[in-house]
Amino acid sequence: MSTLEIKDLHVSVTTEDGPKEILKGVTLTIKDGETHAIMGPNGSGKSTLAYSIAGHPKYEVTGGSVTLDGEDVLAMSVDERARAGLFLAMQYPVEVPGVSVANFLRTAKTAIDGEAPKLRTWVKDVNTALGANGLDASFSQRSVNEGFSGGEKKRHEIAQLNLLQPKVAVLDETDSGLDIDALKVVSEGVNTFAQGGDKGVLLITHYTRILRYIKPDFVHVFVAGKVAESGGAELAEQLEAEGYDKYVAAAR
């Protein structure tokens, strides 16, 4: 059992004009076995939510709480969050020159499990995970994300997800910049991860098209720094037809 609980989360960033509140009271509970989609217009604060859960230093939490199985996530270092079972795939994955994919993944796995994976099976597992996401074995020797295309970065993240087997995955615009083939592969990777039934997924997206391949249990409309409405998968269909206009107007 695992539950990620976000309660009345307020987050600010520092701008030239002083602090600016971006998240204005986000409340959301993701239980294991559940896939939640957060959908909202550009600039509504979706990535800010992901960064805040990840512990990015630029985002200052001014109120509310985030807990994983009752543990205070906001008090944890970035490493501790990963060890606790959180996985965060960012909209713009960072490049890590000089660190190979194979070493990066092994270090991450070791940190999470508390012991290094056995080398022989690990190399096989890495290549299988890369292959399942349409990346050939040569990627394991390349520097993390360096020179990767947008699609290759996303494929690599989903390979990571399935290797590391976190409790809860937060995926920020995993679908952006993907062609239809890559979208299918990446969606299958997320579905494979979610299949176990004991995993939580928070899928952040701007477009409804990924929801043709990943079926969310819950859909949340995110506007102006908070959840404006929550519903089932049918809410995504309504958004596809009607867009965000009415929610944006109501938030003004």
Q: Which residues of this protein are in contact with Mg ion, per CB under 5 A?
A: 42, 46-47, 91
Minimum separation from the CB atom of position 159 to ligand ADP (A): 24
Of 57 and 70, the one with the shorter C-beta distance to ligand ADP is 57
Query: What is the three-class DSSP state of 2?
Result: coil
- Residue 158 and residue 210 in contact, taking contact as beta carbons nearer than 8 Å: no
Name the residue nearer to Mg ion (CB basis): 26 or 112. 26
Find which of Mg ion, ligand ADP, none residue 22 binds, CB within 5 to 8 Å per kind: ligand ADP
55 touching ligand ADP, by CB under 6 A: no
HEC-encoded secondary structure of 132-175: HCCCCHHHHHCEECCCCCHHHHHHHHHHHHHHHCCCEEEEECCC
Q: How far is the CB of 91 from Mg ion (least distance, A)?
A: 5
Nearer to ligand ADP, 24 or 83 (CB): 24
- Counted residue by residue, the chain has a size of 252
* C-alpha span between 172 and 47 (Å, rounded): 7
**Burial label, 69 (beta-carbon count in 10 A; 0-12, 13-18, 19+):** middle
CB of 47 or CB of 127, closer to Mg ion: 47
Strand pairing of 200-205 and 168-172?
parallel
Q: Which residue is nearest to Mg ion (CB)?
A: 47
Q: Select from 199, 112, 97, 109 the least CA-distant residue to 148.
A: 97
Indicate the residue among 81 and 226 with the shorter CB distance to ligand ADP.
Answer: 226
Q: Which of residues 8-37 bind ligand ADP (CB under 6 A)?
A: 13, 15, 22
216 binds, among Mg ion, ligand ADP, none (CB under 5 to 8 A by kind): none
Name the site residues for ligand ADP (rule: CB under 6 A).
13, 15, 22, 40, 42-48, 58
